[in-house]
Amino acid sequence: MGKASQSQASRWLEENGPRELELLFRAIVYHPAAPILVTDNDRKYRDASAGAGKLLGLPRNKLIGCRMDDFAAPSFKPKISQLWRTFLDRGEQEGTLQLVSPDGNVRDVEYMAKGNVLPVRHVFVLRDKTARAETGQAEKGSSPPWVRDYALFLLDADGRVAAWYSGAARIYGYSEDEVLGKDLTFLYPSEDTLSFQLREELKRAAAEGHFGNEAWHAKKDGARFWANVITMALTNCAAIPTGLLESELFGYERGAFTGALAQKIGRFERAHQGTLFLDEVGDIPLDLQPKLLRALQEKSFERLGGTRTIPIDVRLVAATNRNLTQMMGDKLFRSDLYYRLKVFPITTPRLRDHPADIPILVRHFTKKYADKMNKRIDKVPSEAMQALVSWAWPGNVRELENFIERSVILSQGPVLRAPLAELRAEAVEGAGGTLAEMEREYIIRVLRESNSVISAAANRLGVPRTTLNAMMRKLGIARKDY
């Protein structure tokens, strides 16, 4: 891999890896009957399984945004704050909650909690003690078979640690600073052939989409433990040239085209009886979408240049930052493929739509970069926090994180020095000049915030798409401007 492509891959992993890892984690950990909740630092539910909805008596979509306190018995609510503080300090906890069931009765519900499995995301597994004997769940003190603590971390293409999360720190005993940039081999007991074996496993995961194995792993204190490992390759559809995407997904036969000197097995075939993650699925070209739809619908496909139909059993997880509904209206994405993919949608709202998360993220990123720079910053001025909460953050969490990193660099003492003048400058940018100039700048900004989808921008502006096209021609707004 050349230096330019290596740098591009590293940037893509840094920017998109955590989000994709969260989607993969949800797909792996959610058991159909398991009551599992994902919460943030404010005890708000950010995701829930169908089993959690059944236990708490609400549909899954109604649970998201609720607080843990909302389901607690009145006599138990005062205890929750202390339990929560203890949990955040220790990172894991087991115990019993007193919850009010849908019929109004108070019942004891056991829970097992693991903190920061992903940044500011905690996993709670609930078990109804009264129903345990009927459902055949595990006895008290043992974890359900489908959930354990998870050591989640990201590797770059060379097998070096690119991101290290709390579950990994709990299991292996290493802090983030100790492992970032280190080769994966440090997690395994010393063996002469280990480095070669790990390289082969990474290559296999990259080729097949995923690879699972079991092996001895080593903790920081030298203790060894037997671990079940899943290595998952993240596929970015936007990073693969259009002409190569079909062969990458479905493979090809020898002689299918000039240069096809040997048979190639595609990602779908490699992921048989496993999981395939497609990032930026909105970038898949129109001419390839029918074949993808056919593979999902009929659970079979043919290699490029082949005639044999190959059956597959693949769980597909797809992600995009585009508005696929608008793309369907613009005839850029097939509606039948959209509805075939939309089996269990997980929508990540814009940061401006949940401002209550901003203070949590500000404190998280401040601590993260202060620790990295060996600084101690334990206070964020109230006026700075209010300004950060009020800002629209068109770049979402990525923009906020970069702003906080810049703030930590500028801070010299224990108080965060946020360059709020930058936000004010952006807020008034374009305020001067003629009306046409202001109108042009505003339309360009809306187009950028709408991911360059003209229909979406027209909806936000409250005008028909044809009107917006006419305004863009009049104001000289070209594709390169947004």
Q: The domain containing residue 52 runs over which residues?
A: 31-135
Q: 135-159, pLDDT tens digit by residue?
A: 444 444 344 444 556 677 777 766 7
Q: Is residue 316 in a domain?
A: yes
At residue 378, does pLDDT exceed 60? Answer: yes
- Weakest-pLDDT range from 80-89, 381-390, 435-444: 435-444
Average pLDDT rounded to a whole number, residues 87-101: 86
CATH number at 287 reads: 3.40.50.300
Which pLDDT band, with edges at 50, 70 and 90, does 363 fall under?
A: very high
List pLDDT tens digits, range 421-473. 777 655 544 445 566 777 788 888 888 877 778 887 887 777 788 888 888 88
In terms of Cα–Cα distance, which of 413, 361, 431 is closest to 391? 361
Q: In this model, does residue 404 exceed pLDDT 90? A: yes
88 confidence band (pLDDT: 50, 70, 90):
confident
Neighbour tally for 337: CB within 10 Å: 22
Last residue of a domain, one of 186, 212, 232: 232
| pLDDT beyond 60 at 358 | yes
- Buried b vs exposed e over 3-25: b needs ≥16 C-beta within 10 Å? eeeeeebbebbeebbbbbbbbbb
pLDDT recorded at residue 428? 47
pLDDT for 14 equals 54
* pLDDT number for residue 4: 42
CATH of the domain at 363: 1.10.8.60
pLDDT at 2: 40
Alpha-carbon distance of 431 to 437, in angstroms, equals 9
Round to the nearest angstrom and report the end-to-end CA distance of the chain. Answer: 31
Q: How many helices (H) does the chain have, and how many strands (E)?
A: 20, 16
Residue 208: which pLDDT band, with cuts at 50, 70 and 90?
A: low
Domain contains 348: no
Q: What is the mean pLDDT of residues 267-292?
A: 87
Is 24 part of any domain? Answer: no
Which neighbouring-strand residues pair with 231? Answer: 211
Both 77 and 169 in one domain: the answer is no
Give the whole-angstrom CA distance, residue 447 versus residue 442. 9
What's the structural domain count of the chain? 5
Does 310 share its domain with 279?
A: yes
Helix-, strand-, coil-residue percentages of the chain, each rounded to 5 = 45, 20, 35
| pLDDT for residue 408 | 92
For the whole model, what pTM was predicted? 0.42
Structure tokens at 69: 């306190």
Q: Give dist(CA 390, CA 402) in Å, integer.
A: 17
Residue with more model confidence, 362 or 244: 362
The CATH number of residue 41's host domain is 3.30.450.20
Q: Are residues 412 and 440 in the same domain?
A: no
Residues 423, 445 share a domain:
no
Residues 412, 450, single domain; the answer is no
User: Residue 102 pLDDT more than 90?
Assistant: no
Give yes or no: residues 226 and 247 share one domain.
no
Percent of all residues in the chain with a pLDDT value above 90, rounded to a whole number: 11
> Is residue 248 domain-shared with residue 264, that is, in the same domain?
yes
96 within 8 A of 110, measured Cβ to Cβ: yes
pLDDT of residue 13: 53
Domain termination site, one of 217, 232, 247: 232
- Categorize the per-residue pLDDT at 362 as very low, low, confident or very high, splitting at 50, 70 and 90: very high
Span 16-33, mean pLDDT? 57
Report the DSSP beta bridge partners of residue 38: 47, 123
Highest mean pLDDT among 7-11, 199-203, 228-232, 284-288: 284-288
Choose the final residue of a domain: 232, 251, 266. Answer: 232
Return d(Cα 140, Cα 138) in angstroms, integer. 7
Please say whether the beta carbons of 404 and 365 come within 8 A: yes
Residues 53 and 102 in one domain: yes
Asked whether residue 4 is domain-assigned, the answer is no
- Residue 251 in any domain: the answer is yes
Give the range among 76-90, 163-177, 209-223, 468-482 with minimum mean pLDDT. 209-223
Digit-coded pLDDT (tens) for 299-316: 999 888 888 899 999 989
Q: Assess if residue 347 is contained within a domain.
A: no
Establish if 100 belongs to a structural domain. Answer: yes
Residues 367 and 457 in one domain: no
Mean per-residue pLDDT, 249-269: 81
pLDDT at res. 228: 66
Does residue 6 fall inside a structural domain? no
Q: Are 43 and 125 in a shared domain?
A: yes
Q: Which residues does residue 279 pair with via DSSP β-bridges, in sequence order?
A: 236
Integer angstrom CA distances of residue 265 from 130, 208, 219, 249, 271: 50, 8, 36, 9, 10
Q: What average pLDDT score do residues 385-399 get?
A: 87
Question: pLDDT grade, residue 16 (50/70/90)?
Answer: low
My answer on whether 86 and 158 are in the same domain is no
CATH code of 452's domain: 1.10.10
Do 175 and 271 share a domain, yes or no? no
| Run of H or E residues at 206 | helix 194-208
**The pLDDT value given to residue 3:** 42
What is the average pLDDT value for the chain, to the nearest integer? Answer: 78
